[in-house]
Amino acid sequence: MNKEWYYALEGTSHGPVSQADFEQLVAAGTVRSDTLVWQEGMEDWLPYARAGSVGAAPLPPRAPMGEGQDPARSDANTFVGALKDGFARYVDFKTRSTRSQYWWFTLWSVIFSIATAIIDTTIGMGDTGPTGLLASLAMFLPSIAVAIRRLHDIGRTGWWILLIVIPLIGWIVLIVFYCTKTEEQPNQWGPVPQR
């Protein structure tokens, strides 16, 4: 008889789920190699990749990049998921991101800027104090990365991001690019991202 599985996502345990349901979660990418799992007979929660030594079914082989594998998180098109995906792919300049991934991450950047300006003003440092500087530094590379991945998603090279140095006209062109619909076929930067 198959034992039931428990798994942890974002600090919350889920389960019990049957072996068949658990294998579907693995196939869908919800349970990854680093996801903590537990079942009866295990002394403690373990990452799924290590749980194989105590009876877990092995992870299915992952296709190399460019062969149908989307590197984005399964929840990357949600408000919270976009932030997690942006930082998980902190310096990924080689794949693709959807419109929603880009715009949710941009919204997070604006929220952080406003929040840090309020904090800096409250502690008497003006609206561009140390908290704002640290937040800007933390958001700098992932913001560039998600912007370049968004350009890749519409079939354009990441070098188009340099239009940002051209006031007004360059900004308008980039906004149009960032609002453009996803290219509906695989391109040189990878498969069509999940939406």
Distance of CA 193 to the CA centre of its chain: 11
Could you tell me if 90 and 168 lie in one domain?
A: yes
Could you tell me if 86 and 12 lie in one domain?
A: no
Could you tell me if 131 and 85 lie in one domain?
A: yes
Write down the mean pLDDT value for the chain.
83
pLDDT of residue 2: 65
Cis peptide before 60 (omega within 30 of 0): no
Whether 163 maps to a domain, the answer reads yes
Distances (CA, A) of 188 to 66, 96, 180, 185: 8, 10, 18, 10
The domain in which residue 9 lies consists of 5-54
Residue 82 has pLDDT above 60, yes or no: yes
Residue 10 has pLDDT above 80, yes or no: no
Whether 145 maps to a domain, the answer reads yes
Share of the chain above pLDDT 90, in %: 34
Count of the separate structural domains present in the chain: 2
Whether 60 maps to a domain, the answer reads no
Least confident of 39-43, 101-105, 153-157, 168-172: 39-43
Residue 70 has pLDDT above 70, yes or no: no
- Residue 9: which residues within 8 A CB-CB, separation 6 or more? 30, 35
